[in-house]
Structure 1
Amino acid sequence: MPHKRAKRSVRENERKKRGEDLAPMKNSLSNEPIPKAIARVLNATKIREEWHNKKRKLQEDGDHKQGDKRRKLEDGAKGKRRETQATAKISIKPGESIQHFNRRVEDDMRPLVKAAVHSSNAVARNAVKADKEAKAAKKLKGKSNKTDESEEAKTTRIQPPAPAVAADKHAGKAKEFQKTSSSAPRRLNDVAQAPPEFKRLPRGAVSAASDGFGSGKRDGVLSMAQRQMMEKERENAITRYREMKARQRKSGEKSDERDRDGADDD
Structure 2
Amino acid sequence: MPHKKAKRSVREAERKTKGEDLAPSKDSLSNEPIPKALSRVLNAAKVREEWRDKKRKLEDGGGIQGEKRRRLDDGAKGKRKEAQVTAKLTIKPGESIQHFNRRVEDDMRPLVKAAVHSSNAVVRGAAKAEKEAKAAKKVKGKPVKEDDDDEATSTRARPPPPAAIADKHADKAKEFQKHSSSAPRRLNDIAQAPPEFKKLPRGAVAAASDGFGGKRDGVLSMAQKQMMEKERENAIARYREMKARQRKLGEKSDERDRDGEDED
Question: TM-score, structure 1 length as denominator?
Answer: 0.32
Higher helix share: 2
Question: TM-score, structure 2 length as denominator?
Answer: 0.32
